Amino acid sequence: MRHGLSALFDRLPPHAPEAEAALLGSMILEPERIPEAAAIVSSSADFYSAKNGAMFAVLLSAYETHGTTFDLIAVAQAFRDAGTLEEIGGPEYLIRLAEGVPSAVNCSHYASIVAHKSKLRQVIEAAGEALYRCYNGGEADFQSIIEQSAHEMASACYLNGLAEKSGVRAVCSADIVAEEVRWLWPGRIPLGKLTLIAGDPGLGKSFCTIDLAARVSSGAGWPDNPDARQQPGGCILFSAEDDPADTIIPRLIAAGADRSRVFVAQSVIEKNGERSVNLERDMNTIRKAIGQVPDCRMVVIDPISAYTGKADTHNNAETRGLLAPLAKLAADLGVAVVLVTHLNKSGGGKALYRAIGSIAFAAAARCAYAVCKDSENPARRLFLPTKNNLGPDHSGLAYTLGMGPDSTTIPVVLWEREAVTDSADEAMGGAEKPQDAETKVERSEAEEWLSSLLAAGPVPSNTVKRRAAADGLSWRAVQRAKEAIGVRPSKAGFAKDGEWSWSLAAKQPGEGEPYLGDQDFVPEDG
């Protein structure tokens, strides 16, 4: 039990019961307001009333399950399922809450009041802990009392944005030197920023980060422009789920990495031994480790949840407090920091908000990508943008896992050269597909059309695209047909002078196309 100032003085901590009730009423009245409330109020712990906090948690859970379709009856059932309906006052209390707010338009304002009171209580609690230690420290080491108290106060102030706020520091825009965004992967992964990759386990996310590390270290071109080589650079991998010796190193070799430029972070060395890396405690240590990698250009943290220590990654304030120093590190060192995470189980909704944990992960990342299965080809993975604050909107990419030209036992990522036009929301079921999406009939027609076009031999892919448009076929339908009938792309010539063509020749293992001989292959990790 904490010993805050409320235990020393006969005075209630800051709280706003009217705002708490109005916030809950707004969420019941208009469920579509729930995401904006959740972006401000970090968790149920932000409520002074434990009953209100429990109601907030149930409403969030109901939203994740039903989206915006639930009503008062569904809300009451959610509380009944949680065994708390009678504790909160029954359905009548829910009705009173909803009727207590004339409109939900001020939902964000109510949430801000609740969050502000919670911040003040956290600082008061931290100060109370410091007082309690001083009164009851006994023979405890004075320095340890001071350090622990200072740490708690600094954490409370930092997480809540209360530190060093005696005034607003404003800089004239004319005094700020404009800079261009620098890119690791042009238009997709920026240098000096955080990038998020989210997807379910088993889709090859870690294979993708290995592929990225191989390209950075070797100077190979990016998947959407493989002929344009880059200046090689260094990488450091924080991988909590894969063994370096039997998983990471074999994959790096298969992907063609220059292993002299790729480093694997394993632990933090202390006087009493070694321990796991912790973003809460080890930011300076991580900064030093990156500094020891020659010309480091990319840092991979996979998965981010394994390095968050005791921080509650479902709490927006704590997550922001964890990621802000990491974002500053990326900016200071000019490295691209790629965070890998899993998806939550809610299903539906915008793909950007499907990353597990707090939405602060998506908010802190400047670019974000979702990895999901192609619904019509389970072996095919889609790598789709969900957010890009720094560059033009990009189409997605697709890949499979198979045997490359230099690997016979370890799968590698085989990227498709052509762009994917599906949005992440469409691919992950968070949005209805456009009305002009191809039907089964259109797909069948596209397969027949493409078979006829290629029957006489290879045809340049640009010609295929022009002919499809002229004949009224959507390019997406043609791409689906390409997969369905076994079209094999090939390139004549080298570098930029080469031309891609399509043909009906059978695919052969080890020629840059997906090796489908082992249909039961499942990646060991995401």
- Rounded to two decimals, the pTM is 0.56
Residue 93, amino acid: Y
Among candidates 103, 23, 81, 105, which has minimal Cα distance to 56?
Answer: 23
Task: Map out the domains of the chain as residue ranges.
Answer: 5-159, 183-427, 440-503
- CATH code for the structural domain at 183-427: 3.40.50.300
DSSP three-state, residue 101: coil
Look at residue 514 in the predicted model and tell me its pLDDT: 39
Cα–Cα distances (Å) from 293 to 151, 217, 263, 298, 443, in that order, read 31, 11, 7, 10, 50
User: Within 13 Å of residue 404, how many CA atoms lie on the same side as its CB?
Assistant: 18
- 440-503: CATH topology: Arc Repressor Mutant, subunit A (1.10.10)
Q: What is the 3-state secondary structure (H, E, C) of 273-307?
A: EEECCCCCCCHHHHHHHHHCCCCEEEEEEECHHHH
DSSP three-state, residue 413: strand
5-159 CATH pick, 2.170.190.11, 1.10.860.10, 3.40.220.10, 2.120.10.30: 1.10.860.10
Q: How many CB atoms lie within 10 A of CB 402?
A: 22
**pLDDT tens, N- to C-terminus, the chain (526 residues):** 345 455 555 678 888 989 998 998 888 888 888 888 888 887 888 899 888 888 888 888 877 777 666 677 777 887 888 787 888 788 888 888 888 887 778 888 899 999 889 888 888 887 777 777 777 765 556 666 676 666 666 666 655 554 444 457 777 788 888 889 999 999 999 999 999 999 988 899 999 999 999 999 999 999 999 999 999 999 999 998 899 999 999 999 999 999 999 999 988 887 778 888 988 888 888 999 999 999 999 999 999 989 988 888 888 888 888 899 999 999 999 999 999 998 876 666 677 777 777 788 888 999 999 999 988 888 999 999 999 888 776 789 999 999 877 767 899 999 998 888 888 888 887 444 444 444 666 778 888 888 888 888 888 888 888 888 887 888 888 888 888 888 888 876 654 556 788 888 654 444 444 333 333 344 444 4
